[in-house]
Structure 1
Amino acid sequence: MSKLFERLKDLAGPEMAGPSMAFVAVMLIFGIASPQFISAATFGSVAFQLPELGLLTLAMLLPILTGGLNLAITFTANIAGLTLAWVLQSYGGADAGVGALILGVVLALAVGAASGVVMGLVIAFTRAHPILVSLSMMIFLRGLGEFLTRGGDISGFPDFIRPLGHGSLLGIPVPLIVFVLCVLAWHVLLTRTKLGFNTTMIGSNIEAVRYSGINTRKVIVWVYALSGLMCSVAGIIMLARFNSVRVGHGESYLLITVLACFLGGVNPFGGFGRVIPVFVALIVLQLLSSGLNLLGANQHLATAVWGILLVGIMILRWMAGHFKILKNRR
């Protein structure tokens, strides 16, 4: 039993302390405030709502680990979703077959990865700041999507797509299964592959990594390509969830993905972070939102609370670092 505990501790790392305490606090506060909070209905709602935000957070995680940022995640997801929607519409809309779905998914994944590759190339070869590059990509994708859809949405998809967004397998929501598989893939990538190791090293000190002989440009391009690929997965799930696609879907998720990463112990300057604590942080945020909804609070209040939480996390981190410096001086 002790070996299993140590193994789980190694997987999660010291970053798990913050999300764990936040999870306990949310469960206690809302469990006392609302008797309906700790129920199957609440956790079922969280299970269906978590994947959309979670997949976009995974897309944000890799760039943050390199010391960068991808501000184009939501619009990349929507462009990928629009790509799938256009393919389905071209092959009959609601009457489209499975072959059209497979073709649309492949093209959607390719579009997301391509947007990431473009950002990665610009960042890697021009050394422009990732915020400026991803902001430019965000504006481009938003304008392109608005132009192509004329500000509207696309709907009318085959019925066999609905289980991807609303179905269950052995009682577990299909979107959650997809998300958990992506979490495991990201965990293996960061802990068992050379790319994952180089990603965190670049976030720690890119010049030292460059002088050690590692092709940092190649790593950065891969990081943003994988980020775009994960955005595509999110866009496909969002299409199935909403049964429609438009450019502005999930736009409010952008800053919340950053919050989830910080709450999960990821260093905002790169070089340090794990997937499992971020996964727990996402659960905490969704439970917080569900708890506020049960208390009759507006969804906008939940967004405001998330913002306050982000400020609080930054203050607590500053205090922890300050006290650590004082302790070392003594």
Structure 2
Amino acid sequence: MKSIIHRFNATFGADMAGPLVAFVAVMLVFGLEADNFLSAGTFGSVAFQLPELGLLTLAMLLPLLTGGINLSITFAANLSGLAAAWVLQAYGGVNAPPSAFLLACIAALMTGAAAGALTGAAIAYTRAHPILVTLSMMIFLRGLGEFLTRGGDVSGFPDYVAPIGHGSVLGLPIPLLIFIICVGLWHLLLTRAKLGFGLLMIGSNIEAASYSGLNTRRILILVYTLSGVMCAVAGVIMLARFNSVRVGHGESYLLITVLAAFLGGINPFGGFGRVIPVFVALIVLQLLSSGLNLMGANQHLATALWGVLMIVVMAARTLASKFFILNRRKG
């Protein structure tokens, strides 16, 4: 038993216990109470709804691990989507060749990276609080997007773009596959790359990280640049999903990304967290929403229950941490 516990702790950490308990609870409750919950339709719906929120959560994840936050993720995603849309429009809109879509994706990634780098540089060099900097960037990006689009949307894209938002490969939605690849990249970044070690050090104690020889300014700029790149990926997915781009798309996802990260065991003050528990937490949130919809509950009730679930999971994580520490001392 102890060997299983130690192996689980080494692989996932104590922060995985909360999301797993929540997952089992949601499956049991809605499996018994909601008709057709345990069906291919439910899981197919979750698979298609998960990627957009998941990609934006990954964009939020790295700044949170440094002890910061990125409140501009949704508008960075939309502005990146707008950049891609304008490139496609410039090459003929619905008649744009596939090569134009490649240029559109590059334009989206560069836009997201630029927004993130500007945010990171402001935080790194001014030492202003990330909430203030990213709030300012959020307002700037929103205003810029509304100015450029006059509050409207950009639509009319080639037919080959739609499968990126709605298509599937071997029964798995393409957006989900893209999200899983991004989860894998973020996992490798945090567990194998020097940048991952550096950003966790900054989250634990930025002054100690600086004294230990880390270039904290460079790391912060890279963190927010990567956050912007992930926003751009989400923006392209939303472009393909809705066949249009609008400044307000996905605006309601912002606070849910923070909720999902904390449900997944991310330390609110930075310095500690893993990607896989956050992935499980995202699945739990989507399953909870789908289960309530099947039971005919009001969507506002789902929002309220998300808050309750966060308290339950964080309590379970605290108890699990104490349990693992106790077992380690006994071992």
Given the two structures, how large is their TM-score scaled by the length of structure 2? 0.92
2:268 alignment counterpart: 268
CA–CA separation in structure 1 for the residues paired with 2:317 and 2:35: 33
Residue 12 of structure 1 deviates from its aligned partner by: 1.7
1:27 alignment counterpart: 27
Decide whether aligned partners of structure 1 residues 164 and 4 sit closer, same or farther in structure 2, where only a CA change above 3 A counts.
Answer: farther
CA–CA separation in structure 1 for the residues paired with 2:239 and 2:47: 17
Give the gaps of 5 or more residues in structure 2.
325-331
1:1-330 matches, within 5 Å, as 9-311=9-311, 313=313
Give the gaps of 5 or more residues in structure 1.
325-330
Residues 60 and 70 in structure 1, CA contact (< 8 A), matched pair in contact too: yes
Q: Look up the equivalent residue of 1:61 and give its one-letter code.
A: L
Deviations 1:174-212 (A, max 9, x none): 000000000000000000010000111110011001011
Q: Look up the equivalent residue of 1:270 and give its one-letter code.
A: G
Over the matched positions of the two proteins, sequence identity in percent amounts to 69
Q: Look up the equivalent residue of 2:231 and give its one-letter code.
A: C
CA–CA separation in structure 2 for the residues paired with 1:212 and 1:38: 51
Residues 11 and 276 in structure 1, CA contact (< 8 A), matched pair in contact too: no
CA–CA separation in structure 1 for the residues paired with 2:206 and 2:272: 13
Aligned residues: 324
Decide whether aligned partners of structure 1 residues 246 and 202 sit closer, same or farther in structure 2, where only a CA change above 3 A counts.
Answer: same
Secondary structure, in 3 states, of the residue corresponding to 1:245? strand
Residues 165 and 240 in structure 2, CA contact (< 8 A), matched pair in contact too: yes
Runs of 4+ with >4 A deviation = 2-9, 311-324
Residues 265 and 314 in structure 2, CA contact (< 8 A), matched pair in contact too: no
Residue 301 of structure 1 deviates from its aligned partner by: 3.0
CA–CA separation in structure 2 for the residues paired with 1:168 and 1:318: 39
Residue 92 of structure 1 deviates from its aligned partner by: 1.1
Residues 262 and 313 in structure 1, CA contact (< 8 A), matched pair in contact too: no
Deviations 1:126-163 (A, max 9, x none): 10000000000000000111111111111111000011
Decide whether aligned partners of structure 1 residues 298 and 213 sit closer, same or farther in structure 2, where only a CA change above 3 A counts.
Answer: same
Deviations 1:44-95 (A, max 9, x none): 0000100000000000000000000000000000000111111111111111
CA–CA separation in structure 2 for the residues paired with 1:22 and 1:264: 11
Decide whether aligned partners of structure 1 residues 4 and 171 sit closer, same or farther in structure 2, where only a CA change above 3 A counts.
Answer: farther
CA–CA separation in structure 1 for the residues paired with 2:312 and 2:13: 22
Secondary structure, in 3 states, of the residue corresponding to 1:176? helix
Deviations 1:80-128 (A, max 9, x none): 0111111111111111111111111001000000000001001001100
Residues 204 and 272 in structure 1, CA contact (< 8 A), matched pair in contact too: yes
